[in-house]
Structure 1
Amino acid sequence: MSQGCDLSVLEELTSNAKQIQDDVLNKILKANANTEYLSRFLEGSSDKELFKKNIPVVSYEHVKPYIDRVANGEPSDIISGEPITTFNRSSGTSSGNQKIYPANNIYFENQLFGYALSSAVMSKHVDGYKQGKVMVFSFTHRISTTPCGLPVAPALTSFIKSKQYLSMAKNCTSPYEIVLCPDPKQSKYCQLLCGLVQRNEVVGVGATFPSVLVRVINFLEKYWKELASNIWSGTVSDWITDLSCRDSVSTILGEPNAELADLIEHECGGQKSWQGIITRLWPKTKYIETIVTGTMSQHIPALDYYSNELPLVSKVYASSEAFFGINVNPLSKPQHVSYTFLPNMSYFEFVEVDDDGGTTGEIVDLVNVKLGSYYELLVTNFSGLHRCRVGDVLQVTGFYNNTPQFRFVRRKNTVLCVDVEPTTEEDISKALARATVVLESSDLILTGFTCFGDISTVPGHYVFYVELKAKVNNGTNVLQLDNKVLVECCCVMEESLSSLYRRLRVKDGPIGPLEVRVVQQGTFDSLMEFFVARGTSISQYKTPMCISSAEALKVLEDKVLARFFSDKSPPV
């Protein structure tokens, strides 16, 4: 699984971070100094001090005109000395707008290197990791093209379809052809089928984002009878029409297996609860591999429930702009996850962030960050981005040799506001964690969540859509909602929000009582389908923490079962 990387590489990189960062910047500047973008500031020089002095810190919007020109057919050397080979499209579920980022072969080589090094770390911490297989649910999106014919796709799709990915695919339960299937339903079904047949080889289960994994479990609840029937007969369902899927699954499915079919029927249909269903169906699983930092933490209770609290492993920190770092303590608790930056990936700088979320203006190199401080991340990569804001706020938690480790705190921008209060992702995550404790005490688990600021009312107020599931099946599939429990959820969430929010939430104040709207089971599947139909990759789909799209809100609003409000002002 390590693709030639071993832990000595990690030691070398992290021990020599300053020199490696200087070398990376020198290499980037030498390759790009004569591009149209950089030549205005550097006049062909690759001097680091001139770079620091003259190159402006920019957001995506500042470089978008240059990116669009390349996408429309002008030469790559407008922004990059290395030919642009593809454009990575962001999911748009975090910011609301899809963006395209230039990428070249160095980007894909870096991705492979980062994942390979992460796998070497996993081998150290998980017994049998190299000998087993991982059942990772991956999906590819249809690739579109720019006006000049260059491919545009979500970053994960671009990587999966690159030659670099093939070596990683060998250790997965799903054949490469199934991952490439453009129909997510057929792909999901076939990936589950392959995983079930190879259940005794699976050491890890996962997906890039936990919302996808929770949706896969919901899909299994709907289709386990058909999957068991396929295994019992040794034939694939007729509706699997993708020939590559059929051929690949048929090879793995092999002869009829009544014993395995009976086991699936017993575990999925013969129990009162789906608690621990992952470990019951895949008994040798030692961890769940998915990103549970930041807004993704909302899915931790559901994953703990389905996996009997197996370790949740956030392996890597990467984006459409660059590969940033790896988790060198992969079995750490989600709240303790930190990423060790890899200094050979790109050139990294950091703008310090003060307590109010504003920047101090001081920019420091990777090795000069201070323990405990908060920073906004800037990246200069090999694909034409220079001192570009990524939009993530990180906190320095420690050092591995001479290289800092960072905790992902939040996306930079305020996500919720109905008056003047700046509510961040971190604020909402804290509120959600409090509500989850109340729900779990009543044997309910949260399987989906999002929110929006409703200013159609006076005063405006926060609305939280939640999808709930009973831990124990009462035989009716009807969710019993306790008014007292849900109102308490509203109250504890308000108590967890910022002091400014609480001051504004007084009686007759400018913010009204917080509202929880419980939606039907399956609603967040429908929400994902809504975004996927509009171009979001299913692999990169993250349930948006906050929604502003009227169309997306209608998907939720049409499935509301009940509404509950906070019945008292939070303590100031």
Structure 2
Amino acid sequence: MLSSFDPNDNEGGLKLLEDLTQNARQIQEQVIEKILTQNANTEYLKSFINGCHSPDVHLFKNTVPVVNYEDIKPYIERIANGEPSNIISAQPITELLTSSGTSGGQPKMMPSTAEDLDRKTFFYNLLVPVMNKYVDGLEQGKGMYLLFIKPEISTPSGLMARPVLTSYYKSKNFRNRPFNRYNVYTSPDETILCADSRQSMYCQLLCGLVQRDEVLRVGAVFASAFLRAIKFLEDHWKEMSDNIRHGYVSDWITDPNCRASVSLLLTKPNAALADLIDSMCGEKLWEGIIKKIWPKTKYIEVIVTGSMAQYIPTLEFYSGGLPLVSTMYASSECYFGINFNPLSKPSDVSYTLLPNMAFFEFLPVEKNNGELSHCNGGSVPPADEFETVDLVDVKLGHYYELVVTTFTGLYRYRVGDILMVTGFHNSAPQFRFVHRRNVVLSIDTDKTNEDDLLNAITKAKLLLEPLGVLLTEYTSYADTGSIPGHYVLFWELKNRGGCESLGELESSLMEECCSSVEQSLDSVYRRCRSKDKSIGPLEIRVVKHGAFDALMDFCVSQGSSVNQYKTPRCIKSEEAIKILDSRAVGRFFSRKTPFWEPFRAQYSQ
């Protein structure tokens, strides 16, 4: 399924992409045939195909159900606790990849194999000829990519459980990647692999400053991470400038590998570069700062689709007019597709799914009154009622939810992403990412759905009830106006006795409500708040009586039905936010950092 090619051969890489997309149906047939032949004797598949040793796609789709994570979670936990891989996969499971989505407050775990690392490497290599097709001269410089690893643990089976990017950066595939100027970074591998995110961030930015004249592109995986790095630079540029001026690394950089690798670049004092950094970073307004510091930069490479689109205005402020490039669409479950037109506007980004990465199916989704729902039975129909569409049979302009069957042991798995077909490249469809199913709030890798938010608020409001104060309405939004961004909740409160006036709300009590909400949110959110520092303290804005009536009036004026109106639990309209903000009578922030620890308790026999 993986064709070998030289990543330095642009013509060969582009031809390979043409072959893959021209023969999408045939390749999809080969993919599902290989997966089923290889895994027919796994416990999971045998339970549905009744011991058939050569199942075909028709038997597979008629007998194997479309599933959510909760359906496959017991099988994966059995492997984590030491049972053999052949529960779900004929190939040995070599690690478990923790996703940013959650289940029961814990990150989901996805199976991975050694071959899967090769598949990811193949995928990354294909990005090179696509970018070289649209941007000249990338081989003549370096990329300042800010890449980080995150916490990992060993499960009872001895398998590591870790985020997908941590897995890749720690692999021999990344560390021993073939020499390719496109893959030459200003960050030494030792700084990327530093477990202390603050030391890693400092050293990577310092290396990027030292090599500013060689930088042709900058970026991170997510827009949120890149902006967090710019904020870090705002806070630490003077110290970095002093390091450059005197030719030494700050004493608080104690990671020996980081220190040694950076010292190889800071071989002597450079007062001229330090003066230049001082003059640029010392300005009060940082508009266009990226282009000023790294003047040869051709583009910023970050994911700006989905929830990351909220960061586009801030990126444009700092960028100095540089293109924002989203190159790929991937997840912990599988790597999916590539943006064949990387210089397109963020709002126009579409991804072409590569037919050799997995077997793809699609659940049709309809748009009614501005809301998306599944065509065959509401928002979440029973698994055995699903009717799917194959990759090459999707229709232009239609919406679908992505379902994948992977080489690593996931069968007809609902990824949870809603996509819209925007076109075709040869016979392979191109999709625009619309949103995650049920997710209402996201700042970084966190994904808070409506039920999680409701449960957290239900617990927090119990703190008010002894005082006779009731929560009558609420909504939320992700405030990305500051770095890091944070969750904002609008609460309308009333006295149980009917009096509209609440008097002076106790700040300490409302701050406790903020902390209670945070502590009730899932493990990924709490990690981002407590360890990664990528999310700021949660805020509750108390609004005066009638504020939500004004919100409803606004929504109705925009086309909502009075009869069917429901208070949105997340708002994105700037006008709607202004309506509630103008009626705010109190603002309160969490003063506690929520407790977080790696998800060890999940693995109990």
TM-score over 0.5 for the alignment?
A: yes
SS across alignment from 1:91:
strand
Task: Name the structure 1 match of 2:234.
Answer: 221
2:185 pairs with 1:119: no
The structure 2 residue matched to 1:46, chosen from 55, 61, 66, is 55
1:48-95 Cα shifts (integer Å, max 9, x gaps)? 111111110000110000001111100000000110000001124799
Task: Name the structure 1 match of 2:24.
Answer: 17
Task: Name the structure 1 match of 2:511.
Answer: none
SS across alignment from 2:140:
coil
Relative distance call for 1:183 and 1:417 in structure 2 (3 A) is: closer
Relative distance call for 1:456 and 1:152 in structure 2 (3 A) is: farther
Task: Name the structure 2 match of 1:499.
Answer: 560
* Aligned positions of 1:341-356 closer than 5 A: 341-355=353-367, 356=372
Q: CA deviation at 1:504?
A: 4.9
Q: CA deviation at 1:417?
A: 6.0
* Aligned positions of 1:372-451 closer than 5 A: 372-413=397-438, 415=440, 448-451=485-488
2:404 pairs with 1:364: no
* Aligned positions of 1:93-104 closer than 5 A: 97-104=106-113
- Kindly provide the amino acid, as one letter, of the partner of residue 7 in structure 2: S
SS across alignment from 2:431:
strand
CA distance in 1 between partners of 2:104 and 2:326 (Å): 22
Q: Determine if contact 2:24/2:392 at 8 Å carries over to the other structure.
A: yes
Q: Determine if contact 1:175/1:248 at 8 Å carries over to the other structure.
A: yes
Task: Name the structure 1 match of 2:165.
Answer: 156
Task: Name the structure 2 match of 1:182.
Answer: 195
Unaligned stretches of 5+ in structure 2? 1-5, 377-385, 441-448, 455-475, 497-513, 519-546, 569-575, 600-605
- Kindly provide the amino acid, as one letter, of the partner of residue 357 in structure 1: S
- Kindly provide the amino acid, as one letter, of the partner of residue 395 in structure 1: M
Q: CA deviation at 1:2?
A: 3.0
1:327-354 Cα shifts (integer Å, max 9, x gaps)? 0000100100000000000000001011
1:451-497 Cα shifts (integer Å, max 9, x gaps)? 447486699xxx9x9xxxxxxxxxxxxxxxxxxxxx9xx97996598
RMSD of the TM alignment (CA)? 3.6
Task: Name the structure 2 match of 1:2.
Answer: 7
CA distance in 2 between partners of 1:211 and 1:94 (Å): 23
* Aligned positions of 1:321-360 closer than 5 A: 321-355=333-367, 356-360=372-376
Q: CA deviation at 1:45?
A: 2.6
Task: Name the structure 2 match of 1:142.
Answer: 151
Q: CA deviation at 1:12?
A: 0.5
- Kindly provide the amino acid, as one letter, of the partner of residue 101 in structure 1: M
SS across alignment from 2:33:
helix
Relative distance call for 1:244 and 1:66 in structure 2 (3 A) is: same
Q: CA deviation at 1:97?
A: 3.9
Q: CA deviation at 1:46?
A: 2.7
Which has the higher Rg, Structure 1 or Structure 2? 2
Q: CA deviation at 1:31?
A: 1.0
2:79 pairs with 1:70: yes
> How high is the TM-score relative to the length of structure 2?
0.73
SS across alignment from 1:130:
helix
CA distance in 2 between partners of 1:204 and 1:492 (Å): 45
Task: Name the structure 2 match of 1:234.
Answer: 247
- Kindly provide the amino acid, as one letter, of the partner of residue 153 in structure 2: S
CA distance in 1 between partners of 2:419 and 2:123 (Å): 19
Q: CA deviation at 1:445?
A: 7.6
> How high is the TM-score relative to the length of structure 1?
0.77
Relative distance call for 1:276 and 1:247 in structure 2 (3 A) is: same
SS across alignment from 1:325:
strand
Task: Name the structure 1 match of 2:316.
Answer: 304
Q: CA deviation at 1:130?
A: 2.2
Task: Name the structure 2 match of 1:253.
Answer: 266
CA distance in 1 between partners of 2:196 and 2:484 (Å): 24
The structure 2 residue matched to 1:108, chosen from 113, 117, 125, is 117
1:142-195 Cα shifts (integer Å, max 9, x gaps)? 321111110110111011111111217951110111111000000000000100
1:400-437 Cα shifts (integer Å, max 9, x gaps)? 0110000000111163769xx9xxxxxxxxx989x99x
Relative distance call for 1:446 and 1:85 in structure 2 (3 A) is: closer
CA distance in 2 between partners of 1:16 and 1:365 (Å): 14
CA distance in 2 between partners of 1:154 and 1:181 (Å): 15
- Kindly provide the amino acid, as one letter, of the partner of residue 86 in structure 1: E
CA distance in 1 between partners of 2:235 and 2:594 (Å): 20
1:238-271 Cα shifts (integer Å, max 9, x gaps)? 00000100110011122111111001000011x2
CA distance in 2 between partners of 1:491 and 1:198 (Å): 51
Relative distance call for 1:414 and 1:86 in structure 2 (3 A) is: closer
- Kindly provide the amino acid, as one letter, of the partner of residue 373 in structure 2: G
Unaligned stretches of 5+ in structure 1? 422-430, 437-443, 466-486, 537-572
- Kindly provide the amino acid, as one letter, of the partner of residue 246 in structure 1: R
Relative distance call for 1:294 and 1:492 in structure 2 (3 A) is: farther
CA distance in 2 between partners of 1:2 and 1:370 (Å): 33
Q: CA deviation at 1:505?
A: 6.3
Q: Determine if contact 1:303/1:309 at 8 Å carries over to the other structure.
A: no
CA distance in 2 between partners of 1:277 and 1:519 (Å): 35
Relative distance call for 1:153 and 1:123 in structure 2 (3 A) is: same
